[in-house]
Amino acid sequence: MITPLADTHAHLNDEQFAADWQEVVSAATANGVNQIIIPGSDLPDSRQAIAQAEQYPGLFAAVGVHPHEANGYNHETRLALSELADHAKIVAIGEIGLDYYYNFAPRQTQLAAFRDQMELAAEKRLPVIIHNRESHADMLAILKEFAGVVRGVLHCFSGSPEMAAECVKLGYYIGIGGTVTFKNAKKPVEVVRTLPLDRILLETDSPYLAPVPYRGRRNEPKYVPVILTTVAGIKGVSEAELRARINRNVVELFGIEAYNQ
């Protein structure tokens, strides 16, 4: 029997999936992807993630405010997230972090929202799903503040191998997505090459960043096996070995067991 896979980051609550997200889940299951974590980007998005996760045993949710939405973060937001985080389907706080590429919110606003949600994760004893773009120094500083207290995954990792190594030292996992399959993916490939197997998670970041040969289409969780094949090739291990290790990583970080539906 082939070991099933998890997509640790798929925005099934995105409007691109509004009409057919249940069919997307079915297609993923048929392709051996039987666990999907749906992250939140704000309060409505987080509530929708929970509502979707309630409908399938293999769906799970994370709640959080994305750095793009940090301008709206306040004490009431924190209270609402704290309540949502107690739901049985919640496996993480996220998607949270810093984005200095778009800077939709001032950096100090992003930093305050990020730090507050890291404190929430510590309080709830939940891992975090982290967004990090062009903010490596500040990101590492905050991760170090919470070292030994909060752990998680840097999703859709875009940093250097050195940055990845620093995060691994702090107990974090690295999320690898479709970009590792791109023709010009020198840095993602080098990151994967240097990562220990016990710190890799696979994700699609659906509906974005579909892997080759589906680039340009809407991304879906059913494409996780494509990413798995590429990563196994880079690491020089069998797909079966990588599947088994990835499943252990998912269990260790999120506490959810793989199973056949």
pLDDT exceeds cutoff 60 at 261: no
Does the residue 220 lie in any domain? yes
With both helix axes pointing from N to C terminus, report the angle between 161-169 and 136-145 in degrees, rounded to the nearest 10.
Answer: 10
Name the DSSP letter for residue 219.
P
- Report the number of distinct structural domains present in the chain: 1
pLDDT exceeds cutoff 70 at 120: yes
Q: What's the rounded mean pLDDT across residues 71-90? A: 98
Residue 211 pLDDT: 97
Does the residue 108 lie in any domain? yes
Does the residue 259 lie in any domain? no
Does the residue 147 lie in any domain? yes
Look at residues 175, 123, 122 and name the one whose alpha carbon lies nearest to residue 151. Answer: 122
pLDDT exceeds cutoff 50 at 260: no
State the CATH number of the domain containing residue 93.
Answer: 3.20.20.140
Count of beta carbons in the 10 Å neighbourhood of residue 186: 9
Contacts of 165-171 with CB under 8 Å at 24 or more apart are: 165/194, 166/140, 167/140, 167/143, 168/195, 168/196, 168/199, 170/143, 170/144, 171/147
Task: Give the model's confidence band at 258: pLDDT under 50 very low, under 70 low, under 90 confident, else very high.
Answer: low
Does the residue 261 lie in any domain? no
Task: Give the model's confidence band at 35: pLDDT under 50 very low, under 70 low, under 90 confident, else very high.
Answer: very high
Looking at 111-170, which runs of residues are DSSP E strands? Answer: 128-133, 152-154
Q: What is the pLDDT of residues 3-33, one digit of tens each?
A: 779 999 999 999 999 999 999 999 999 999 9
Q: How far apart are CA 63 and CA 108, in angstroms?
A: 21
Q: What is the pLDDT of residues 147-193, one digit of tens each?
A: 999 999 999 999 999 999 999 999 999 999 999 999 999 999 999 99
Name the residue range of residue 235's domain: 5-254
- 96 phi, psi to nearest 5 deg: -125, 165
Does the residue 189 lie in any domain? yes
Does the residue 260 lie in any domain? no
Does the residue 207 lie in any domain? yes
List, as one string, the DSSP characters of 172-218: -EEEE-GGGGSTT-HHHHHHHHHS-GGGEEE---BTS-PPTTSTTSP
pLDDT exceeds cutoff 70 at 90: yes
Q: What is the pLDDT of residues 192-217, one digit of tens each?
A: 999 999 999 999 999 999 999 999 99
